[in-house]
Amino acid sequence: MPGDDRIAATGGRPPMVRMAGVSKAFDGRTVLDAVDFAVRAGEKVTLIGPSGSGKTTILRLAIGLTKPDAGLIEIDGRYLWHEIRAGQLVDAGERHARGVRRVVGMVFQQFNLFPHMTALQNVRDPTIQVLGLTRDEAESRAVELLTQVGLADHMAKRPAQLSGGQQQRVAIARALALRPKVMLFDEVTSALDPELVGEVLRVIRELAHATDMAMLLVTHEISFAEDIADRVLMFDAGRIVEDGPPAQVLKDPTHPRTRQFLRAIIER
C-alpha cells in the first residue's frame, strides 16, 4: 500500500489519516494527482505551497466535504468511501462516510459560525445533536472550552458582535467540543486583520502542545509552522514535492519549488 513507507519511516503509532493514490479534478483541472501520504495519531503536520496546489483540497477530502475521483482515504483505520465486504473492497455511500468522518473536526478560513446563535450556542448545541450530551453536560463543556480560548466574557454574544479573531476562536472551541481525533485547520488566519492573527495562533499553538490530537494545518505562517509542526508537506501542482521535519523543509529545502516558494513568502 502506498504511504506505508512513510509510516514505517516515522515509526510508532498507527495512521490516523491516510491517502493512497488520491486524485481530484474540478472542471477538468487536476487539483490533486495521485497523492500518497499518512498522518499518524498525535502527529502535527503543516501543509504549505502556492495557492491552487491542492492543500485545501486535502483537508476537504479528509473530512468528506469533497469526494475523490480516484484513490483510497482512510480515517482512523476505516475507509471513508469504501468498505470491505466478503474480503472485497467495494464502494460505500454517504451514510458510511458520515460514520467514518465523525472523528474529524475542521476550522474554516471564513469561520462559518452560525450567525443566529450566540457563541455559547454555537459551541454547545452541536454536542447535544451529535454526541447526545445532556444540556448540562454540553453547557459545561462549552463554557470550559470558551474559557480556554479566552472568551469567557463573550459567551452570550452573537458572531456579528465579535471580532474576527474572537469568531475564529469560537470556531476552534466549536470543533474541539466534539472531541475529534483529527483537527483540520484551513488557512484559519487568512481572513483576519493582521493584529488579530496572533491571538488565534496562540490558541492553536497551546492546543498543539497540550493535546494528543492529530493536526493538519494549511498555513502561510512559516514561523508558526516551524514551531508546532512535526512534519511539513510542500505541495506543488497537485503533488507532494517535499516531506520532512520543519528544520529540513523550511530551513534547508531540497526541491527547487520549495526554495522558490519560501523565498516568495519571506519577500512578501
Partner 1 sequence: MSGQSVSLHAYLPFLIDGVWVTLQITFAAMALAVPVAFLLAAGRMSSWRVVRLAAGFVIELFRGTSAVVQLFWAFYVLPLFGITLSPMAAGILVLGLNEGSFFSEVVRASLKSIVVGQREACVALHLPRRYAFWRIILPQALPVMIPPFGNALVLMLKFTALVSLVTVQDLSFRADQIRTALGVSGEIYGVVLMIYFALALVLAGAVALLERQAARWAGRPVPALLPWLRAHASPVPRWALGR
Q: Which residues bind partner 1 (CB under 8 A)?
A: 63-65, 98, 101-102, 104-106, 108, 110, 112-116, 125-126, 129-130, 158-160, 174-175, 178
Shortest reach from residue 27's CB to partner 1, in Å: 16
Task: At 266, list the grid cell.
Answer: 519571506
Shortest reach from residue 244's CB to partner 1, in Å: 29
Closer CB to partner 1, 101 or 257, in the complex = 101
Closer CB to partner 1, 3 or 164, in the complex = 164
Contact 107, 184 (CB under 8 A): yes
Place of cell 443566529: 116
Closer CB to partner 1, 112 or 148, in the complex = 112
Closer CB to partner 1, 46 or 118, in the complex = 118
Residues with Cβ within 8 Å of residue 174, at least 6 apart in sequence: 113, 122, 123, 126
- Please state, as a whole number, how many other Cβ atoms lie within 10 Å of the Cβ of residue 135: 11
Closer CB to partner 1, 72 or 104, in the complex = 104
Radius of gyration of the chain (CA): 19
Shortest reach from residue 110's CB to partner 1, in Å: 5
d(Cα 88, Cα 83) in Å, to the nearest integer? 8
Shortest reach from residue 49's CB to partner 1, in Å: 22
Shortest reach from residue 42's CB to partner 1, in Å: 21
**Phi, psi of 241, rounded to the nearest 5 degrees:** -100, -15
Closer CB to partner 1, 160 or 266, in the complex = 160
Shortest reach from residue 253's CB to partner 1, in Å: 32
d(Cα 48, Cα 226) in Å, to the nearest integer? 11
d(Cα 84, Cα 78) in Å, to the nearest integer? 10
Place of cell 470556531: 171
C-alpha torsion sign, points 186, 55, 204, 106? positive
d(Cα 235, Cα 178) in Å, to the nearest integer? 30
Amino acid letter, residue 224: F
